[in-house]
Amino acid sequence: MTITAWTFTLVALSFALYIGIAIWSRASSTSEFYVAGKGVHPVANGMATAADWMSAASFISMAGIISFLGYDGSVYLMGWTGGYVLLALLLAPYLRKFGAFTVPDFVGDRYYSQSIRKLAVVCAIFVSFTYVAGQMRGVGIVFSRFLEVDVTLGVLIGMGIVFFYAVLGGMKGITYTQVAQYCVLIFAYTVPAIFLSLMLTGTPLPQIGFGAADPETGTYLLDRLNGLHTELGFAPYTSGTKSTLDVFAITAALMVGTAGLPHVIIRFYTVPKVRDARVSAGWALVFIALLYTAAPAVAVFARTNLIETVSEQPYSEMPEWFSNWETTGLISFDDRNGDGLVQYVGPEAVDASGAPIENELTIDRDIMVLANPEIARLPNWVIGLVAAGGLAAALSTAAGLLLVVSTSISHDMLKRGLRPDITEKGELIAARVSAAVAVVIAGYLGINPPGFVAEVVAFAFGLAASSFFPVIILGVFSKRMNREGAYMGMLTGILFTAAYIVYFKFVNPAANTADNWWFGISPEGIGTVGMMINFAVALTVSRFTPPPPERIGELVEKIRVPRGAGEAHEIGA
Amino acid sequence: MNDRTGPRRPVRGTSRDTSPQEYWRRNIRYVGLLLAVWFLVSYGAGILFADPLNGIRIPGTGFPLGFWFAQQGSMYVFVALIFVYVVLMNRLDREFDVDEGDE
């Protein structure tokens, strides 16, 4: 079977599975639509959280980025996993005990304020839409490359699938589809990683393989790669080029941002007990770590294979994948010295006489994972599998984000805001309608992506880090924290972070260099500073303003102990 | 801390402090300890001390130690930390009789 035939078959099978699950798990009440009736088993919730969290960026882009950044890519590995420790220890159990449906629910009730609820709704919707545009784009790329359909048609098909199970099933449908999607994506990620590890090092486990030696020459793979890098004028793979402070700030922003992302947080509302919320975060991280510990190995394998396949080889003899990706514009070759060979070199490359060599090859980092099986000449079914896995990752995350948007509108804005007298049935219809509208907007953004999808991702994390994380933590760990403190903290945190990112990414992108950054902290890492400002302002303002009413103190005490889950928020509300 | 304890409920004749305040204090201590480890493996070994640690190589592998912590070790420790937390807290919940039972 050809690659296209395999891809069609595997993608069609996986889609049929998702649709089947959607029909089986239709939601019939708002509780089922918002939080799957709080009846999800902690291990299943862990899997769903992992699929929810691991997006097209984790599946398609991350290993590619690491493969080009080497050690500096560690910020994504630590940043996107370390946040779960914060989530498990500081947020998940308390939010589950509070027992609401959404993040604005908690923030609004804990700080007894409609303005804070509104601010939280705006943040939640903004963060989620930012993210979802990227997911739909990922769907489009997979469809256009592997199934040779137009990007627009690819996005429309993806929208159709998400529409079906998100609108019909709500959180319940999404949860069980995500469990299936996790299985598809982890299988699709691990199989090529194991193949590659066996080929390059003879060790089946990629996590060990990338530290192992070539069975024939006895040279360690990392030494070989560092050698290639030095020879070609790139920085050594295993040591970084970013400043330590910036690496520190970016890692922290990603960790705290992860713990503050609404679509991740609401997953912990879906389990029956506080105890389940704690252990569920552990399972989520186990399932995430399966992919995240394999990713740096894939990065090393891909980098080595890529350099050895293209470097100083005749352009006329490039393999088929090379020209396939060239037609998508994601690889481009320009024979500057006219020797017919591919010079793929770093900024410091020099020839034997000491004259600089010009780089002739540009490769989009996003194609590494998708092209990897082809570069390594793996069987056709593995390539089809990777396409199905990429789609699973993108669709599962898109669905989780769309649910946040729909609950923010039907629950936070209507039920808890404009129309408190809305019936259960009316709220459910509103939830479905807003989910449907959100899918359409997301699809539009996927087909006509704003030119700055990559930039706005920094925005999503920065905002989540500088808005939700501090106010939730303070809401649980400080009884004295009041409405005024939380509001001012959130506002200054967001404004500071947004201003910094907007300035360097949109207003004056030319100035976006380490020399102009404050203390050398990049826009990707500024959420860390925004978070600290939020904490500092909130604590200061709360000392000079009236303490919260007595019932809030009682609410916080209830949140802090596990017994009686599901009752706590009715006392405060 | 005597000035802020609530009504105490002695358990089975012992005089151990089982107040909500004591429960919360123990919880904070666990979280503090676990987050200290969390910080040490990621920000410590993986970032701040990565360069000196890269001078050490994990025996029998090609991994420089700082690089390994940043791209593998920290994640294994993160997973372990959450499960340690789960065990500690479940025990603490029972000890202070605030667990959710098996209903």
Contacts of A81 in chain B (CB under 8 A): 74-75, 78
> Residue B94 pLDDT > 70, yes or no?
yes
* Alpha carbon distance A379, A374 (integer Å): 8
Taking the Cβ of residue B18 and every Cβ of chain A, the question of whether any pair is shorter than 8 Å is answered with no
Give me the pLDDT at residue A406, please.
85
What does the block give as tokens for A402? 């769309």
SS3 state at A314: strand
Q: Hey, are the CB atoms on A74 and B72 less than 8 Å from each other?
A: no
Residue A512 pLDDT > 90: no
Average pLDDT over residues A392-396: 87
pLDDT band at residue A547, thresholds of 50, 70 and 90? Answer: very high
Instruction: State yes or no: pLDDT of B3 exceeds 50.
Output: no
Each residue's pLDDT tens digit, A185-203 = 999 999 999 999 998 888 9
pLDDT band at A377 (very low <50, low <70, confident <90, very high): confident
Enclosing H/E stretch for A514:
none
* Spatial distance between the Cα atoms of A159 and B20, rounded to a whole number of angstroms: 49
pLDDT, residue B82, reads 96
At residue B103, does pLDDT exceed 60?
Answer: no
Question: pLDDT band at A478, cuts 50/70/90?
Answer: very high
- Rounded to whole angstroms, what are the CA distances from A71 to A115, A232, A237, A559? 43, 17, 6, 41
The whole-chain average pLDDT of chain A stands at: 86
How many Å apart are CA A54 and CA A217, to the nearest integer?
A: 37
CB contact under 8 Å between B76 and A293, yes or no, is yes
Q: What is the pLDDT of residue B4?
A: 45
Buried/exposed A496-508: b ≥16 CB within 10 Å, e otherwise: bbbebbeebbeee
CB contact under 8 A, B48 and A244: yes
Give the gap in angstroms from C-alpha B75 to the nearest C-alpha of chain A.
7
- Asked if A74's CB is within 8 angstroms of B71's CB, the reply is yes
Highest mean pLDDT (candidates A110-119, A382-391, B32-41) = B32-41
Residue A90, number of CB atoms within 10 A of its CB: 18
Distance CA A113, CA A108 (A): 5
How far apart are alpha carbons A452 and A462 in whole angstroms? Answer: 15
A334-351 tens-digit pLDDT: 888 888 888 898 888 887
Provide the residue type at A245 as one letter.
L
Highest mean pLDDT (candidates A229-238, A257-266, B24-33, B44-53): B24-33
User: Across residues A83-107, what is the average pLDDT?
Assistant: 90
Interface size between A and B, measured as CB pairs under 8 A: 139
Give pTM, 2 decimals.
0.89
A504 vs A156, A307, A490, A499, A522, CA distance in Å? 34, 33, 22, 9, 9
**Amino acid A208: pLDDT:** 92
| Whether the predicted pLDDT of B98 surpasses 60 | yes
Three-class DSSP category at A332: strand
Residue pair B57/B46 in contact (Cβ under 8 Å)? The answer is no
Q: Give the H or E element holding residue A559.
A: helix A550-560
Question: Which of A13-17, A55-59, A132-136 is predicted least confidently?
Answer: A132-136
Q: Is the pLDDT of residue B71 over 90?
A: yes
- Measured in angstroms, the CA of B31 and the nearest CA of chain A are apart by 6
CA atoms of A117 and A110, how far apart (whole Å): 10
Nearest CA in chain B to A293: B72
The minimal CB distance from A71 to the residues B58, B70, B76 is found for B70
Distant-in-sequence contacts of A310-319, Cβ < 8 A, 24+ apart: A310/A342, A310/A344, A310/A361, A311/A228, A311/A232, A311/A342, A311/A343, A311/A344, A312/A341, A312/A342, A312/A343, A313/A341, A313/A342, A314/A340, A314/A341, A314/A342, A315/A340, A315/A341, A315/A342, A316/A340, A318/A342, A319/A374, A319/A375
Cβ neighbours of B47 in A, within 8 Å = 74, 78, 244, 247-248, 251
Predicted pLDDT of residue A456: 66
What's the gap in Å between the CA of A29 and the closest CA on chain B? 23
Assess B15–A contact: CB distance below 8 Å, yes or no: no
Q: What is the pLDDT of residue A129?
A: 81
Residue whose pair of structure tokens reads 């947004």 in the numeric block: A498
What was the pLDDT predicted at A450?
Answer: 62
What was the pLDDT predicted at B12?
A: 52
- What pLDDT is recorded for position B77? 97
Integer Cα distance of A391 and A439 in angstroms = 16
Torsion A518-A524-A528-A530 (CA) sign: positive
DSSP 3-state assignment of B15? coil
pLDDT at position A391 over 90: no
User: Can you give the pLDDT at residue A455?
Assistant: 62
Beta-ladder partners of A362: A332
Residue A261's contacts (CB-CB under 8 Å, 6 or more residues apart) are A127, A460, A461, A464, A468
Q: How far apart are the first and last CA of chain B?
A: 35
Structure confidence by residue, pLDDT tens digits, A438-447: 888 888 887 7
Q: What is the ipTM of this complex?
A: 0.90
- The number of residues making up chain B comes to 103
Q: How far apart are CA A193 and CA A338, in angstroms?
A: 36
Per-residue pLDDT, averaged over A441-468, amounts to 76
Burial class (CB in 10 A: 0-12, 13-18, 19+), B95: middle
Tell which residue, A119, A151, A165, A232, has the closest CA to residue A14. Answer: A165
Question: How many angstroms separate the CA atoms of A118 and A567, rounded?
Answer: 24
Question: Under the phi-then-psi rule, with left for phi > 0, alpha for psi from -120 to 50, and beta for the rest, what region is B97?
Answer: left
pLDDT digits 0-9 by tens, B4-62: 444 445 455 455 778 888 999 999 999 999 999 999 999 999 999 988 999 999 988 88
pLDDT of residue A399: 87
Q: Which pLDDT belongs to residue A81?
A: 94
Cβ within 8 Å, pair A239-B46: no
Give the model's pLDDT for residue A34.
80
The conformation of residue A377, written as its DSSP 8-state character, comes to T
Nearest to A388 by CA among A5, A10, A54: A10
Instruction: Supply φ then ψ for residue A331, to 5 degrees.
Output: -125, 135
Say if B33 is an interface residue toward chain A (CB within 8 Å).
Answer: no
Check residue A570 and give its pLDDT: 45
Nearest to A112 by CA among A542, A482, A407: A482
Beta-bridge partner residues of A105: none
